[in-house]
Structure 1
Amino acid sequence: MTNTNAVTAPQHSGVKRSLPALGLFFLSPLVAEFLLGNIPISAFYAILTLAPLYGGGAVLIRELVRRRGWGYPSVIVLALAYGVIEEGITTQSLFNPNYADLRLLDPGHISALGMGAPWTVFVLGLHTVWSITVPIVLMESVSRHPREPWLGKLGLWVYGMLFLAGIVATTAFGYTKDSFRASTGQDIGVGIAIVVLVALAVWIGRRGKPPYDGKRSVGVDRRRDRSGARFRLDGRQRPDQERLARGGPAAGGRGTHGRRHRHLVPADRLDPAAHVGRRRRRAAHLRVARIPGDAGLRRPAQYRPDRERDLHPLGGGSADLCDNHV
């Protein structure tokens, strides 16, 4: 199933709304370097130099995924791409045989690639889990908007420039400390790996179904009802709103029914025979009862009040189709 449901991002993000992004900006290097013991807490000031690279990458990945309505699988794949950028371009530890004078590539060395298999798996896994994914999960767990974008266009540009500055600064610093340079073939291989990982993240995100957050933009869901009509998603829906479904003789179709469907239709368009579930099709004995407080809507008599959600019609007589899943 192709995912066409993107979340509408705010044009201008307020300071309060963007605070989780700022927290993620500093949480990423804190977890990746200090929590894991790579840098002692006495050198905590180093977080200011590490945040543009670590935090900028984490914020950009999180914003891209949430703006597109993707899930954590895309976060993980993009986090792996981030690890390739940092270790293959900025520090070049994937190819430097004497990086930090530690001879990290000697165990499991692959001569054809100029890489060490154990070190490659270890460092890329470290960045995937601890540098990006864990900080994002932690910050979203305390945020009031865990599935929505935190930044507007301006904030996105600011963090993008910080991330770019972090890449340039880290690369320049590494060049001054070590004269090693990766070969042209290795640079091309890194570029190909990054493109493939980003394409894989996009493919996974488009095939997945994002969790409902109540603020999706208007779009079309590819799920169809029995009549072949598609559901529309109302960007202003709230979780307590009742979705209206097209049905009745005027629409020329039958609403989708079943264990997970509870449809309400305008009274003047109610076709009793067409609005009974597959297991409840008893058109000859169907009774129609009015909904208390909603004179413009009716429901089948088999409607179960104990399973009724808060009713909030989107307008009497509306023929729009809306998503019927919560």
Structure 2
Amino acid sequence: MSRTRTRWGSVLAVVVIAPWMAEMSWGGIPFTDMVLVVLFLGPMYGGAALLIREVTRRTGRGWPTILLLAAAFGVLQAGIVDQSLFNPDYARYDFQHPVHVDGIDISLYHLVSFVTGHVVASISIPIVIAESWSRRAAEPWLSRRGLWFVGVLYVLASVLNHVGVKDEDGDGFQAAPHQVVTAMGVVALLVAIALTWRRRPVTARAAPPVRLLVVLGFLAHLLYLPAENAASLAVAAAVITAAVALVGGWSRSSAWTSAHTFWLAMGAALVGVVVPYLAEPYDVGVSARTEVVNDTAAALGCLLLVGLSAYRRSRLALQPA
């Protein structure tokens, strides 16, 4: 009974944390709407994170597979589900510029922004946090029946999101067939690479101190797109390439542990302490006082989540297995 309860607690944690990190951690939505956000978006964001984690753990693969499947989710979400990647009139936003690509009609800037955001905030951080609370971090948490249930729930939630966004924010937009085919092709390619990724041999190189990884995670996630222009895309390419190269090399070390992964993700999560005060909310008509309250609630939420996760992880390390 205790083992079952622990697994379902971990599952629930992913379902709650994923939509919160994706939509609320940056202060765009009032904290008073958290229950609605979790109920409406939890099955979609949380469902995707659970499915990605379950596939990875069941096949004995590691973080490269999670990250590649998360990128596939990012393309699927932005290109097929809400179609914000292709929509020239998405609510009050212009997601077609900067760095517009004719023909396929996308902004390379927003492609990187959307996909990276989903990889880090929607999928990776929730998985790391939920696993940090679990004694069975490397095990599957869902039965086959549970896996099917989450899969069906994710599809239904995605369809509901597609219809809702199309009516409320999308102005009735429908992506062109060649756009849909292109997006699905990229998703299929990323999934194929993820499921055929081979483990690299372990090396004897030293692993960095975890303090360095906190700083790296924070700065990389905060600064990879410093402004909304073409120059920022070059910065993002450099930052992402450097982060992947560094962490990819370090993680092959025999000295690399789950603590390194945890604190790298917590560094990225701590960006939520700063970003709410820099980003505009969805509702631009909100008063300055209310915006500060919402931003502060989001920042405190990130601090609390990181703090509780670090505390829980340290407590688990002290308890017998």
TM-score exceeds 0.5? yes
Query: Does the CA contact (< 8 Å) of 2:20 and 2:38 recur in 1?
Result: yes
Amino acid at match of 2:9: L
Is 1:148 the counterpart of 2:142? The answer is no
Amino acid at match of 2:119: T
Which of 61, 72, 83 is equivalent to 1:81?
72
Amino acid at match of 1:129: V
Return the alpha-carbon distance in structure 1 between the equivalents of residues 63 and 145 of structure 2: 25
Is 1:20 the counterpart of 2:10? The answer is yes
Cα distance per residue 1:23-48 (max 9 Å; x no partner): 11111011111112222212112221
| SS, match of residue 126 in structure 1 | helix
Return the alpha-carbon distance in structure 2 between the equivalents of residues 199 and 106 of structure 1: 30
Amino acid at match of 1:200: I
Cα distance per residue 1:35-94 (max 9 Å; x no partner): 122222121122210101100000000011000000011100000001111111111011
User: How many residue pairs get matched?
Assistant: 197
Counterpart in the other structure of 1:200: 193
TM-score by length of 2: 0.59
Counterpart in the other structure of 1:159: 150
**Which deviates further from its counterpart, 186-195 or 97-106?**
97-106
Return the alpha-carbon distance in structure 1 between the equivalents of residues 17 and 112 of structure 2: 23
Cα distance per residue 1:128-166 (max 9 Å; x no partner): 110001110111112100101111112112211110111
Question: Where do 1:1-326 residues align within 5 Å?
Answer: 14-45=4-35, 46-177=37-168, 178-204=171-197, 206-208=198-200
Amino acid at match of 1:120: L
Hey, which of these two has a bigger chunk of helix by percent? 2
Amino acid at match of 2:184: G
Query: Does the CA contact (< 8 Å) of 1:71 and 1:208 recur in 2?
Result: no
Percent identity (aligned):
37
Unaligned runs of 5+ in 2: 203-321
Return the alpha-carbon distance in structure 2 between the equivalents of residues 98 and 155 of structure 1: 38
TM-score by length of 1: 0.58
Return the alpha-carbon distance in structure 2 between the equivalents of residues 144 and 85 of structure 1: 32
Change (3 A) 1:208 1:163: farther
Unaligned runs of 5+ in 1: 1-12, 211-326
| Higher relative contact order, structure no. (Cα contacts within 8 Å, ≥ 6 residues apart) | 2
